[in-house]
Structure 1
Amino acid sequence: MTAASPTLAPSPLPDERKALLARVVEGLDGASLWWLSGYAAGLAQAHAAPHLALLQGLPQPSAPAQAGQRLTVVYGSQTGNAKRTAEKLAHDAEAAGLAVRLLRADAYPQRELASERLLYIVISTQGEGDPPDDAIGLVEYIAGKRAPKLPELKYAVLGLGDSSYADFCGIGRRLDARLAELGGQRLLPAGEADLDIETVAAPWREQALGHARELLKSAAAPLATVTPLRPAAAAPAWSHDKPFAAELLLNQRISGRDFKGSRFQQYGPASKDVRHIELSLEGSGLHYEPGDALGVRHRNPASLVDAVLQTLQLDGDTAVSEAGDTLPLREWLAARRELTKLSRPFLANHAAQSRADELNALLAPDRNAELAALLNSHQLIDVLRRWPAGWDAQALVAALRPLTPRLYSIACSRKRVGEEVHLTVDVLGYQAFGHPHTGAASGFLAALEEGASAPVYIEVNERFRVPADASRDIIMVGPGTGVAPFRSFVQERAETGASGRNWLLFGAQHFNRDFLYQTEWQDALRSGELHRLDLAFSRDQPEKIYVQDRLRERGRDVYDWLQSGAHFYVCGAIAMGKDVHAALTDIVSQHGGVDADGAAEYLASLQREGRYARDVY
């Protein structure tokens, strides 16, 4: 027997306050909304009890703990790893009877930093030393002149990163140093977790929890019986650690000339290999929203595994035991270890094994730019061939990083496709150092045949959502496969009857062979599901034209849409995202009559309101 749903009582708010409240909560994730409910309850303590509770049938929340009696956990996350890690920390602290609040970085009230007493920050570093989008404002505030002195703050920082980038965990290190510079007391050294996150994060969380218990022990006993600030979420049946085997329904090339007659018809000579992939989620119970991503647990190409074994002259049948598992070396390399993404620790290990002075010199602190170039251009096999070294099977498995899932933006709305999920996959393939190279996950997906399955899970992205207010207009900038989530946005808004206009800016190299979902967009324009479409094909004329150029050309309209309340979205490569941001800054400066600082603040305010969202990678 299930409990009755809470009854929503008539609102005592006037209409204009209701509209303001809707704008405040728009785009906030679950953790932020629960914090907001506690904050509002605290304010209500100063007033007489109302005659009518806002939610009848629900217990009234207790007054929030004072800053000195609670732990605040703040996370900045681009792909969900920092969020999951922060949630584990907050859950453990709450289970220990501590008062804790968990906040996404863009929901953290910056004015409260001065009064904060115990703060743990879990933050990822994106690309070459950038903060995740949801943490840009907080990082800039802490780094800037307005940041307060923090003599009473005790803090700890856990950085998450990818050591295939030269500035590994750079944001975490800089935040840690800045908080100390402001007078904060560091409780434990900053953690720096690579893609095998738990090897660093688990002991860091244990130490951090120990410090929190000690500092908050006087408040722990009475708080142990307080109703939790967040509802306990049921563990999903399928997850990052336990993926669902999704059956392949369709694997259709949508670039080049090899697919005339398909519903994604394009024309022109073959060039890039972009696939439209449809997978069945029937029976999984998995749910997603437009803006979410699908995690894919792929296998490395057999040809690449063979090349590594041959180059090192190792036997793939050799049994290797690591972290409690015993598998043949070939299986470790195929399904458990990264082969296409290098890391600084492996390079340091290999430099020692190979006694390669050239490689060792690149690891010096003043050679970061050259190291970054190597990490971007070489796969494992390239390093093994360029600087030969002797590895045994056990040492190799121990030195390589665990294979991590790849995330793909979901390209459909469940309201339209039912128990399916669609992806737009650019199959990476190129020649380098005299040998063919391929993308591990994209090659895995491209090779799937109808009836085969892929291990998948849903990666929620609450920062990237269609507006809750269906009357809002949206501007979507998605060149190449960055258009994927906007296919889902347009479908979702059509299925829900949204009255706001949809404007898409799409870019690629060539109209004839790279215009992804061309016929769908043309049909959407005719049907009114899409209201405006601007295109930028960079190689179809002598001068290169990109989506940021189209934005500048349409600057007056872009600014007018934003001034009228439109939401602005960007999806695609990090470099493109920076170029689009620069174009937006110029547009706001020119058409809004403000200087560069004023334009930057305008865009920052849009981000804080949830009206400027990016999904860049």
Structure 2
Amino acid sequence: MQLQVLNSPFNQEQAELLNSLLPTLTESQKVWLCGYLAASQSASVQVTTEAPPEVNPAASTGQTVSKEVTILYGSQSGNAKGLADHAGKTLEGQGFQVTVSSMSDFKQNNLKKVQNLLIVVSTHGEGDPPDNALSFHEFLHGRRAPKLDGLRFSVLALGDSSYEFFCETGKEFDKRLEELGGERIVPRVDCDLDFDEPAAEWLDSVLTALSESQAAGSVAAPASAPTAAAGETVYSRTNPFHAEVLENLNLNGRGSNKETRHLEISLEGSGLTYQPGDALGIYPQNDPKLVDELIQALNWNPDEKVTINKQGEVSSLRDAFTSHFEITVLTKPLIEKTAQLTGIDALQELMAAENGEKLKNYIEGRDLLDLVKDFGPFSVSPQEFVDLLRKMPARLYSIASSISANPDEVHLTIGAVRYNSNGRDRSGVCSVLCAERLEPGDTLPVYIQHNQNFKLPENTDAPVIMVGPGTGIAPFRSFLQEREEAGASGKSWLFFGDQHFVTDFLYQTEFQKWLKDGVLTKMDVAFSRDSNEKVYVQHRMLEHSKELYEWLQEGAVLYICGDEKNMAHDVHNTLIEILEKEGNMSREKAEAYVADMQQQKRYQRDVY
């Protein structure tokens, strides 16, 4: 609706200014502005106004709200936990009493006591909750979920728009909390892989809405990032450390169908540290050949200058496509925005609701070059086109070393991804950068991604069972290095699998030495292509089901790392089958046993 002198309390000049400003604001900016104006009003004259859409009326009526805030996170890789921790520290700095907890650690019966609830949750796989959100998600959507009429809440959802069920878990929590009677502090915010700015806007909006009834006229300070002591540089996801590559070796033997790189990277001078189970984030560069083909297809000048971020930083178009933007993945939002910008009929037809399956099939296995070749040329400026693109996301790799055993170093195990799709050879952005274009002495922008969901037991006497085929072996090399350094006395059992014993037994000599020295108690291997019938790690687990069950009864912690869609699913079902067989349990009791293991952090997964 356009503001006019006749339908508003504004004069003509004010109405024109507001009409030009309001359409440019994001939803978060509108919510923040509502809170700011409400707080300003309470400082002078107590004017009763209607609450902003979807915002709890207590925020604008002057009603005092509790200063206690509960922040629950569901996190698989650690991003949601990091954002939840930051939100907690920011709110505490503004005088709130904050409890930050993973959903799996939160006592569900306490939910009715919570007045202010913030949910920070990622979506895993094909629309699934992360492991440490499963029990809370099930509780909230089950019959035992309580009425939450006194609850004020807000949800920050993390996801990847290249997946069909983008931010699905956050959407489900948001909808369910409303159904149970809760009222939103501010509307849900859905974040893509580049989540820093929308997450900060969400936190600013939440902070303003919570603060405005606490102190008349005081508006909370923006939720800024943590600062370092004078002269100290803090390296992080938003400020990566440029680390030198020390070694880059192929772990596979001659004749292998695979190429698995072992990288050794220096962290000297960074101040970065990590624990076994953590991951290293790498910001890669796109393949220069692909970048050149894309610019040629667009018929643009590679040296043309474009602005690459909100801070106004400028680079050449070629550098922008190489280092700053994602060009190897298509998403529904990208195609939608391209259709709107270009007005191309064929693109708009592809976006039509009735063509949903056609759009899904088109996106699968294609990239930006395909989009330009299939629907271009585009009659838009390079800047307009660049503004549509997602920023280059970091790639996360499980760390394959212990910093105790390798001071100032971090090791990675990276499988090179190469495949053919829709008539073109394609490759993984980071994995093939490491395989083909990265030499010792080169540098990579890196940061540490802490993962509290995949950690060795504090009790070094506890038995550990590790299942990690292929590059899933990486964190278990880290585990065993750490246990060797610490002199851990607990039993350890490793299940490893790959294609061929001769060419694909990653880190073979290291594991054989640990077996000999007693650092590793047992090791079972499965090489699927060395026999007529394919044998995988879950088959080896079944062969030793009785002993594996005994280890579990002794309190063993079970870890799985690797492919989620196939391997992790099969291993999970095998675990339940073993419990049914050896524990004489029903399917229901076996599943409850596994759920209890997860709750006790005795069943941990690092899957992708």
> Which TM-score bucket, shorter chain as reference?
0.7 to 0.9
Distance 1:460 1:85 in 2: 12
Deviation at 1:572, TM superposition (A): 0.9
Distance 1:489 1:360 in 2: 52
Deviation at 1:363, TM superposition (A): 6.3
Matches within 5 A, 1:53-202: 68-202=66-200
Cα distance change on mapping 1:585 and 1:360 into 2, 3 Å: farther
Which letter maps to 1:239? Answer: S
Asked whether the 8 Å contact 1:89–1:209 carries over to 2, the reply is no
Give the TM-score normalised by structure 2.
Answer: 0.82
Deviation at 1:365, TM superposition (A): 8.0
Q: Does 1:574 align with 2:571?
A: no
The secondary structure found in structure 2 opposite 1:122 is: strand
Q: Does 1:382 align with 2:348?
A: no
Aligned to 1:329, which of 310, 317, 320? 317
Q: Does 1:299 align with 2:263?
A: no
Q: Does 1:243 align with 2:240?
A: yes
Deviation at 1:412, TM superposition (A): 0.9
Instruction: Indicate the larger mover: 145-154 or 170-179.
Output: 145-154
Cα distance change on mapping 1:331 and 1:584 into 2, 3 Å: same
Matches within 5 A, 1:397-546: 397-446=386-435, 447-546=437-536
Deviation at 1:612, TM superposition (A): 0.8
Distance 1:525 1:232 in 2: 45
The secondary structure found in structure 2 opposite 1:416 is: coil
Instruction: Indicate the larger mover: 95-104 or 350-359.
Output: 350-359
Instruction: Indicate the larger mover: 378-387 or 555-564.
Output: 378-387
Asked whether the 8 Å contact 2:78–2:452 carries over to 1, the reply is no
Distance 1:138 1:563 in 2: 26
Cα distance change on mapping 1:358 and 1:538 into 2, 3 Å: farther
Instruction: Indicate the larger mover: 387-396 or 494-503.
Output: 387-396
The secondary structure found in structure 2 opposite 1:481 is: helix
What do you get for the CA RMSD once the two structures are aligned? Answer: 2.5
Deviation at 1:579, TM superposition (A): 2.0
Matches within 5 A, 1:316-355: 316-322=302-308, 323=310, 324-352=312-340, 353=342, 355=344
**Which residue in the other structure is 1:396 paired with?**
385
Asked whether the 8 Å contact 2:161–2:333 carries over to 1, the reply is yes
Asked whether the 8 Å contact 2:365–2:422 carries over to 1, the reply is no
Distance 1:216 1:507 in 2: 58
Distance 2:252 2:213 in 1: 59
**Which residue in the other structure is 1:20 paired with?**
none
Aligned positions, number: 531
Which letter maps to 2:388? Answer: A
The secondary structure found in structure 2 opposite 1:377 is: coil
Asked whether the 8 Å contact 1:603–1:612 carries over to 2, the reply is yes
**Which residue in the other structure is 2:46 paired with?**
none
Aligned to 2:550, which of 560, 563, 566? 560
Distance 1:615 1:375 in 2: 27
Q: Does 1:596 align with 2:584?
A: no
Asked whether the 8 Å contact 2:580–2:590 carries over to 1, the reply is yes
Distance 1:359 1:542 in 2: 50
Cα distance change on mapping 1:167 and 1:68 into 2, 3 Å: same
Distance 1:187 1:106 in 2: 24
Deviation at 1:482, TM superposition (A): 0.7
Deviation at 1:80, TM superposition (A): 2.4
The secondary structure found in structure 2 opposite 1:614 is: strand
**Which residue in the other structure is 1:279 paired with?**
265
Asked whether the 8 Å contact 1:166–1:371 carries over to 2, the reply is no
Asked whether the 8 Å contact 2:74–2:102 carries over to 1, the reply is yes
Deviation at 1:362, TM superposition (A): 5.9
Deviation at 1:599, TM superposition (A): 1.5
Distance 2:177 2:314 in 1: 44
Which letter maps to 1:564? Answer: E
Distance 2:534 2:372 in 1: 38
Distance 1:384 1:132 in 2: 35
Asked whether the 8 Å contact 2:70–2:98 carries over to 1, the reply is yes
Cα distance change on mapping 1:286 and 1:426 into 2, 3 Å: same
The secondary structure found in structure 2 opposite 1:107 is: coil
Asked whether the 8 Å contact 1:162–1:343 carries over to 2, the reply is no
Deviation at 1:434, TM superposition (A): 2.8
Cα distance change on mapping 1:363 and 1:567 into 2, 3 Å: farther
Residue by residue, what CA displacement relative to the aligned partner does 1:507-549 show, whole Å, maximum 9, x if unpaired? 1222232221122222222222211111122232333222222
Which letter maps to 1:306? Answer: D
Which letter maps to 1:141? Answer: F
Which letter maps to 2:542? Answer: R
The secondary structure found in structure 2 opposite 1:451 is: coil
Distance 2:286 2:178 in 1: 43
Distance 1:364 1:109 in 2: 42
Asked whether the 8 Å contact 1:70–1:216 carries over to 2, the reply is no
Distance 1:116 1:465 in 2: 30
Distance 1:280 1:168 in 2: 36
Distance 1:309 1:179 in 2: 47
Give the TM-score normalised by structure 1.
Answer: 0.81
Instruction: Indicate the larger mover: 561-570 or 296-305.
Output: 296-305
Cα distance change on mapping 1:501 and 1:547 into 2, 3 Å: same
Cα distance change on mapping 1:116 and 1:381 into 2, 3 Å: same
Cα distance change on mapping 1:233 and 1:613 into 2, 3 Å: farther
The secondary structure found in structure 2 opposite 1:106 is: coil
Deviation at 1:604, TM superposition (A): 1.2
Asked whether the 8 Å contact 1:301–1:334 carries over to 2, the reply is yes
Asked whether the 8 Å contact 1:348–1:360 carries over to 2, the reply is no
Deviation at 1:186, TM superposition (A): 2.4
Cα distance change on mapping 1:250 and 1:363 into 2, 3 Å: farther
Asked whether the 8 Å contact 2:246–2:440 carries over to 1, the reply is yes
The secondary structure found in structure 2 opposite 1:594 is: coil
Residue by residue, what CA displacement relative to the aligned partner does 1:452-507 show, whole Å, maximum 9, x if unpaired? 11121111112211111111110001111011000010111111111111111111
Which letter maps to 1:585? Answer: I
Residue by residue, what CA displacement relative to the aligned partner does 1:401-443 show, whole Å, maximum 9, x if unpaired? 0011111111011222222111001111222233221211112
Asked whether the 8 Å contact 1:315–1:329 carries over to 2, the reply is yes
Cα distance change on mapping 1:388 and 1:448 into 2, 3 Å: same
Which letter maps to 2:395? Answer: R
Distance 2:202 2:377 in 1: 34
Cα distance change on mapping 1:308 and 1:604 into 2, 3 Å: same
Asked whether the 8 Å contact 1:295–1:458 carries over to 2, the reply is yes
Matches within 5 A, 1:3-22: none
Asked whether the 8 Å contact 2:185–2:210 carries over to 1, the reply is no
Asked whether the 8 Å contact 1:163–1:342 carries over to 2, the reply is no
Q: Does 1:310 align with 2:296?
A: yes
After TM superposition, the runs of 4+ consecutive aligned structure 1 residues lying more than 6 A away are 231-236
The secondary structure found in structure 2 opposite 1:423 is: strand
**Which residue in the other structure is 1:44 paired with?**
none
The secondary structure found in structure 1 opposite 2:257 is: coil
The secondary structure found in structure 2 opposite 1:571 is: strand
Distance 1:371 1:541 in 2: 41
Asked whether the 8 Å contact 1:71–1:99 carries over to 2, the reply is yes
The secondary structure found in structure 1 opposite 2:276 is: coil
Instruction: Indicate the larger mover: 140-149 or 378-387.
Output: 378-387
Which letter maps to 2:234? Answer: A
Cα distance change on mapping 1:545 and 1:195 into 2, 3 Å: same
Deviation at 1:233, TM superposition (A): 9.1
Deviation at 1:334, TM superposition (A): 0.8
Structure 1, unpaired ranges of 5+: 1-66, 222-230, 258-268
